[in-house]
Amino acid sequence: MPGFLLHVGATVLCAHTGQAQPTVPNPRVRVGGQPTVTQSAPYTVAGCIMQPPPAGNGPCVTAQWVTGALRVTSNGQPLLLQSSQAICAPTLTPLTIVVTQMRVRGT
């Protein structure tokens, strides 16, 4: 699905409003002066309000992307798009891309 490329400065949240950040930016491709992110780069989540056991199965700690661009790659890895999807661990809930750059699109 087409969408805008995700970059390091994008606002990405877990389902419980925790802030997610990439662990490995991709400096080879930049948009708006900021590095993009490849699908293989895990994200860390901070500030998740999901309760730990026994009240819940949280908080979200990391997230891994399961979809990325089909036609736009860097170093052989798909870049992330605004439409990409990720799963948080240990809660198995999604990440939500709230804000990203709006100049460069990918498919």
Q: Which domains does the chain have, with CATH numbers?
A: 3-106 (2.60.200)
Q: What is the pTM of this model?
A: 0.94
13-57 confidence digits (pLDDT tens) = 999 999 999 999 999 999 999 999 999 999 999 999 999 988 889
Residue from 2, 8, 1, 65 nearest 31 by CA: 8
The Cβ of residue 107 has, within 10 Å, a number of other Cβ atoms equal to: 11
pLDDT at 1 over 80: no
The Cβ of residue 98 has, within 10 Å, a number of other Cβ atoms equal to: 10
